Amino acid sequence: MKKIASILLITMILLLTACAGGKISYVGDSPNVALIIANRGDKGFNDSAVIGMNVSVQDHGTNLTILEHDNNPDNYEKVFLDAAQSYNHVIITSSMMKETIEAHAADYPDVKILMYDGEVDWSKGDLSNVYCVIFRANEVSYLAGYLAAAMSQTSKIGFVGGVKNTNIDDFAVGFEAGAKAKNPDIQVYLEYAGSFNDQEKGKEIAEQMIDGGADIIFSAAGAVNLGVLDVVAANDLKMIGVDTDQYALFMAEGKEDLAKCIITSAMKDIGDLLYGAVDNYTKREVITGESKTIGLAEGGVSLAKNDYYKEIVPQAIQDEIDALEDKIIKGEIEVPTARTPSP
């Protein structure tokens, strides 16, 4: 993240602490924005959104409310209606609420709806007030898989997904392809927790993978990642973080022991995306009725190449990663994806 990264270490703890709890409202100037997330405290996807929006509060005086659905389908309609009936801009994380948007967006034509990390079915009715942003997570996870294979001492690595859906499958497909590109004989364990919240399940899966010889695990599973990290740390092994620079996050919290288990993170530029969305709202430059896909070339995803990465990853491997990234951006490598190609 560009703007957000520049202040991340200074503001992260303050901003997340200030937002602890259920529904938080901020009194400020237009635009009025409701952010709908699963829940806070995942140290990744949702917290990145909260940080980006809080910087927007500081810079734009945004009147912000944060609503949480706790990954419970029974809550999706309620939180959406709460937001749409009170705010003129609604930002929704991921595709978990796709059907809710398709069912109700047309009822609130004056409300601008941004769904990031997912896409509606545009054939489901009048969705002209909706805008979707899709991250090409397969591209950055390809780099993560290549790195894991290059750094593994056992030629066994693992991937932990949350709920099985296209977004998480895209991480898995890219990760396995990247690992096989480096070492065709590497064994890649792929497991799904069936949850984005169950840290105990994360621990269970990580223990099974480590018992099977895996020495590096990439976890893309929301708060489940925290359970994976606990087991990785207990076994003095390494993992790859997701969505935000999780090494930087844990260092900011003073948890160096956990931070130094994270070689790198496969990041989505969530904070800057949402900050930019609110900036567009402020300028009345809002685009709706279409989808946008962003990957390495657009800066929408990236591998965290922080000081720790540069310290522990041999320079030769860093050079290989940089060369791969360049080839993906230029279209010289076509990374497999779990997404259905657009017609």
For residue 15, what is the DSSP state? Answer: H
Q: Are 160 and 220 in contact (CB under 8 A)?
A: yes
Q: How far is CA 331 from the centre of its chain?
A: 23
pLDDT on residue 241:
96
Both tokens of residue 337?
């994806």
As a whole number, mean pLDDT of residues 3-25 equals 37
* Position 308 pLDDT exceeds 70: yes
Q: Helices 45-60 & 270-283, crossing angle to 10 degrees?
A: 30
* Position 326 pLDDT exceeds 70: yes
Tens-digit pLDDT profile for residues 208-251: 999 999 999 999 998 999 999 999 999 999 999 999 899 998 99
CA 245 – CA 92 distance, rounded (Å): 22
As a whole number, mean pLDDT of residues 98-125 equals 94
* Position 274 pLDDT exceeds 80: yes
pLDDT on residue 342:
56
Helix %, strand %, coil % of the chain (to 5): 45, 20, 30
Q: Are 136 and 152 in contact (CB under 8 A)?
A: no
Q: How far is CA 250 from the centre of its chain?
A: 16
Q: Are 67 and 36 in contact (CB under 8 A)?
A: yes
pLDDT on residue 3:
46
pLDDT on residue 285:
76
Burial (Cβ within 10 Å: 0-12, 13-18, ≥19) of residue 333:
middle
